[in-house]
Structure formats: C-alpha cells, structure tokens
Structure 1
C-alpha cells in the first residue's frame, strides 16, 4: 500500500511539473523549465522509494511500471478536467478500460 501511496504523490508532483504551466504560456520558457525541474526533484523523492519498496515487497519491474502508468493517467485525467478544464470524452474512457485490461494481464499468474 505504501508503494501505491508514494506513486500517487510522486505522479501528482510530476503532472504539475509537466503540465501546470500550460495555462501560463506568457511565462518565459526557460523559467518554466527551471520551475518544472525543481518540482520534479520532489517527484523523484517519492518515486525512487516507491519503486524500491515495491520491488522489495515482491512487485516486478514490469508490474511497478504498469501501476505507475495507470496512476499517471488517472491523475492526469483529473488534472486535465479540473485544472485545464478539458472535457473527458468517451474515447478517453474506452482507452482507460483497455488500460484496466493491461493491468489484469500484467498481474495474471
């Protein structure tokens, strides 16, 4: 459970670092890059322990990456809808269903 929680925190930082500037396109690009790089530091402070703990707890590298991708897309979907004010279209939902299928097969013994 701590792996999942750390991945959620990590991906929240990274989503903001990568996409938070999109509503402020008047800011100089070099400033955005430096700010995003600074925010990404905190992403790494959570991502590295999440992966280490997860691996020690029995997740494979493939499983950790799959979990991370699902969390990333889930957090991004919320960010896009609530921060960027973009619509959540039906085809996005279908793609998420395929991701759930990928998770199922990743963890199937």
Structure 2
C-alpha cells in the first residue's frame, strides 16, 4: 500500500476501533444492571481511555486529508454501524427495519459532507 493512502485509511480503521471501545463504555453496562452506578462509571472511564488513545490520533492523522466536518461525519457513520452490530451481538437486541432505515438516513446525511471535496 502506498504511503499516500495511509492518511486516508488509517483514521477509518482507528475510528472503527475507538468506536468499539466507546460503545462498550457507553452501553456495555446495560447487560449488567446489578452493578452499582459508581462501578459502571469507573469501568466506563477505564474503557474510554483506550478509545481516546485511538480517536485523538485518528483525527490528527485524518486532518491531513479530511476536514473536521468529514472526520466527524465519518465517526458518526462508523458509530451507527458498530452500534447495530454491538446491539445485536452483545445485547441481544433484535435489529429492526425501522432502526436500519433511521440509521440509514443519518448515514446518507453524513455522506453529503463528502460531496463538496
């Protein structure tokens, strides 16, 4: 892979990985409702640290080829994909067509940010 492709691809990979961590930090505790709120918050903070260690450099690297708006739109689109998979596989929630359509509209909206490049 050429060196010029790394700034385009690496942020996507890093944002996907960071979103996996953050989704667990924000929603993973829903599977453990007996845990105290203090423990849930503490655990979420510990999970969020690796997320920040991926997201911050991803945005720094990505800013060499993407605008801040494009990076944010990319992150939101990745979040939707990660959340649907997480919700189905980890939380055991059914994937409803209405959720997919709603997230699809958001995803399409995020894509519009890339049209003026």
Shorter-chain TM range is over 0.9
CA contact (8 A) 2:76 2:110 kept: no
Residues 19-46 of structure 1: CA deviation (Å, up to 9, x unaligned): 1111111111101100100110110000
Aligned residues: 108
CA contact (8 A) 2:84 2:95 kept: yes
The Cα shift of 1:100 comes to: 3.2
Residue of structure 2 aligned with 1:9, choices 7, 10, 17:
17
Q: Which residue of 2 aligns with 1:25?
A: 33
1:9-88 matches, cutoff 5 A: 9-56=17-64, 58-88=65-95
- Contiguous gaps of at least 5 residues in structure 1: none
**Gaps (5+ residues) in structure 2?**
1-8
Structure 1 runs of 4+ off > 2 angstroms? none
SS in 1 for 2:66: coil
TM-score, scaled to structure 1: 0.94
Q: Structure 2 length as normaliser, TM-score?
A: 0.88
Deviation of residue 97 (structure 1)? 2.3
d(CA) in 1 for partners of 2:76 and 2:107?
A: 11
